[in-house]
Chain A
Amino acid sequence: MQVFKVYFQIIKNNIPILMIYITVFIGISMAFSTSGQSSDIAEFTESRAPVAFINDDNDSALIKGLMEYAGEKSTIVEVEDNQEALQDALFFREVEYIIRIPAGFTERFMNGEATALEKTSIPNSTSGIYMEMILNNFLNSANHYIKYVNGITQEELVAKVTTDLTKETEVVISDYESGVANGSGMAFFFNFAAYPVIIILIFGITSFMLVFNDTLKKQRTLCSPISHSRLSMETLLANLSFTVIVWAIMLTASFVMLGKELLSINGLLWAINLFIVAIVGLSISFLIGSLIKNKNAQSAVANTFTLGLAFLSGCFVPQSLLNEAVLSVGRFLPTYWYVRASDEIGKLKSFGWESLQPVIFSYLIQIGFAAALICIALVITRQVRSGSVRQA
């Protein structure tokens, strides 16, 4: 197993660079997991938008009541009241809706005069529509009391409105067969995982190929007592072992990040999907390895190619947020089908043939891509070999 040993010796020398990608991956997925929230569907939870209140009026009972109600329906974020801090908070979506209560609001409102709160929001955003419903509900209801109940005080008003607003619709959760709780979040993690898997495979495998395809070393290897078929077999075995190792490392990382939830059929399907994309990565690496000639080209090609694959197929930005033109290009990339399968798995709640079909279909397309890439690489290596023989 000389070739096999040399293979892993080369991989070992490249461990620092491979570690970079694993670290970056874990760092970024942790940054995402803290910023994104999981939606557990054991019971219906209302979505909340982050909002900021700035009160230029006095702390009247009315305003306290309004803010208390808004606080139940949204997350009130404290933001410093200066233009720059508010603009920053809105820009980075720390708050999505800023409400300024103008001076004299309470007085005018209690007298039934026309008045309004000032909003600063992201135009036409979902959270904006939601907040407007909430605030208008409260104020409309309050306005009716003022109009029809003479001499009502602010305290009475708030008490009555708050009582009315406790009337809530009963929400029934249609729970279908069990799936994973945070399917879309986990799917996102796996979508992202394709990037480190592919780039690590490319760096590892092409490093080996750069050494073994070097003309002088190759000629020396060819006149050694190792038969050509043995050389190929050992290389193939080493490539597969490396792929399995990378897959296992990523799978371990996913267990650490996502926990026990992965011990489910969904988890199994994701693991299979990740393995298939690793095989695709192997075939891509094989192709790149047979094309490049030196280390400079290696890192340039590996980085741009993998980033291209990842961006255009939705590994970083979910496919649902990509525009149609990008998606139609993405369909010609194997990773597009990987992400598609992964998203489907996240949504799976039943595991009959009908619901599994799209996942299996995406698996098969990826395998098709891998086979095609290996064929192309074999044609290229054959041509290079016959070319070098002619040269010699």
Chain B
Amino acid sequence: MFSHIFMYNLKTIFRNRPAIFWTLIYPIVLSTLFYFAFSNLVNAESFEPVGIAVAESSELAAETGFYSALASVSDIDGTAEKEDIFRIQTVSQEEAEELLKNGNIAAYIFYDDGIKLAVADSGFGQTIAKIFIDDYLQASSTIHTILSDNPQAADQGLITDLAQRKEYLTQASDSASSPDTTVIYFYALLAMTCLMGSTVAVEEIIKLQANMSPLASRVNLVPVAKFRVFLYNICATILFQMVVILLVLAYLMFALQIDFGAKTGFILLTCLISCITGVFFGTTVSVGFKNTGIKYAITIGGTMLSCFLAGLMVVDMKYIIQESAPIIGYISPANLITDAFYSLYYYDGLSRYFENIILLVAYSVVMCVVTCLVMRRKKYASI
């Protein structure tokens, strides 16, 4: 009996074209779009030398100390190095103004009763240029103060010392590997795929509620306990959903090369549990509401809202929730799934991972029990 009901139900699900589209094709298309759109996002943070200009003047040329300081961090000396902070064009004041106006440079340095900076906008490039000149002016002030306190300092090597800057920062030994925020999008997407299984589960319950579909009226007449039919149908749904998730996961891991970390066993466990959570979410909603439209609206709406809070659309959302409303994070299933993947990828320990998994299992059990209790002994004397 099991194999009969199971097999035929599985066939029905696999022939449900909208279900295949929304659970399988849609996540794959969306992840591909994510991949193309976000592939450059990580590079955007990395530092590019700031383009500035120096407006030539005789006063500025007289500041030889400034030129040599500038040369050490830019290509003004004709040698472009990888560590340079600035890319410099040496031009006239008018040309510099023109370059700035057209947005070709972030700022230009000119001399007007002191070294000054001209900008058209605020930004990191402009701020870095300002800090650099500040440093030069401040060093001059330092020399001045030291010489007034200790006139012999000049002979003791102060000037050469000033030219040599010490590095006071070292990379901490325990710092994490370069954290790539965009993985959250893909984890949240996988959470969405798992939870979208709820729509298929809604359909499964409709197949069993005699007041919802003619098919269910017929099923209610069969000489098999309803609980068994339910169990077999749900097994088929979970199998279908698991196949879908593995396909999406394989696509993410192998075609798009998304980094999930190395703990493959735990990743698969997360997929299985998430898919069970998704299915029972669907069954609970489906037994709880009578109107078909509302059943779908709540499952799809709930899934998308949960995924939004987990960072599917705006990645910062996940952190905002975690910091300001952690309780939502513990309730929202998409957040638990995303966080489970995230902790596998980012942490060495597993405690946070298991916290997520235990909550997911607990929710699944509760929702399963609720579904069974509502469905139990339901008689349809007249429809």
Contacts and interface: CB of A to CB of B under 8 A. Distances in A.
Contact of A122 (B45, B153, B322): B45
A13 interface: no
A126 B106 CA distance: 14
A129 B47 contact: yes
Contacts of A172: 116-119
B104 interface: no
Contacts of A130: 124, 127-128, 131
A81 B120 CA distance: 40
A164 B135 CA distance: 9
Interface string B123-149: 110111011111101111110011001
Contact of A169 (B29, B47, B133, B352): B133
Contacts of B352: 84
A139 B162 contact: no
Given A141-B139, A167-B137, A124 B47 contact: yes
A117 B47 contact: no
A137 B166 CA distance: 9
Contacts of B135: 133, 137
A146 to B, nearest CB: 11
A87 B30 contact: no
B45 A326 contact: no
Interface in B70-123: 85, 97, 100-101, 103, 114-123
A137 B138 contact: yes
Interface string B167-203: 1111111111011010000000000000000000000
Nearest to B343: A84
A2 interface: no
Contacts of A312: 33, 36-37
**Which bracket fits the contact residues of B?**
35 or more
Contacts of B145: 145, 160, 163-164
Contacts, number: 248
Given A31-B314, A44-B119, A116-B168, A122 B21 contact: no
B33 A308 contact: yes
Contacts of B128: 126, 129-130, 133
A47 B123 contact: yes
Contacts of A387: none
B142 A164 contact: yes
A322 B115 contact: no
B230 interface: no
Main DSSP-derived SS at the A contact region:
helix
A312 B323 CA distance: 32
B119 A117 contact: no
A140 B116 contact: no
B46 A124 contact: yes
A303 B18 CA distance: 13
A118 interface: yes
A132 B124 CA distance: 13
Interface string A30-70: 01100100010100111100000000000000000000000
Contact of B137 (A20, A125, A169, A317): A169
A321 B41 contact: yes
Q: Is the interface of B mostly helix, strand, loop or mixed?
A: helix
Interface stretch (A88-96, A203-211, A275-283, A362-370): A88-96
A1 interface: no
Given A87-B346, A322-B40, A125 B46 contact: yes
A185 interface: no
A14 interface: no
Contacts of A304: 26, 29
Pick from A119, A134, A148 the residue with the most CB of B within 10 Å.
A148
B259 interface: no
A256 interface: no
Contacts of A300: 18, 21-22, 25-26
Interface in A162-221: 163-165, 167-176
Contacts of A136: 165-169
Which of A88, A94, A150, A322 gathers the greatest number of chain B CB atoms within 10 Å?
A88
B164 to A, nearest CB: 9
Given A116-B169, A174-B119, A47 B179 contact: no
A139 B85 CA distance: 20
B313 interface: yes
A173 B119 contact: yes
Given A47-B122, A125-B45, A128-B47, A307 B30 contact: yes
B289 interface: no
A244 interface: no
A172 to B, nearest CB: 5
Contact of A28 (B45, B85, B314): B314
B181 A169 contact: no
B29 A308 contact: yes
Query: Nearest 9 pairs between A and B by C-beta?
Result: A92-B319, A118-B172, A311-B33, A120-B175, A169-B133, A148-B153, A323-B40, A139-B168, A164-B141
11 contacts: A31-B316, A87-B176, A87-B347, A92-B181, A120-B172, A123-B46, A169-B115, A171-B126, A172-B116, A307-B33, A323-B39
Interface of A: 20, 27-28, 31-32, 35, 39, 41, 44-47, 73, 83-84, 87-88, 90-94, 98-100, 115-130, 132-137, 139-141, 143-145, 147-150, 160-161, 163-165, 167-176, 296, 300, 303-304, 307-308, 311-312, 316-317, 320-323, 325-326, 347
Given A91-B181, A125-B45, 14 more contacts: A20-B301, A35-B314, A39-B122, A118-B169, A119-B169, A119-B172, A133-B131, A133-B135, A137-B135, A149-B146, A308-B29, A316-B37, A322-B40, A347-B103
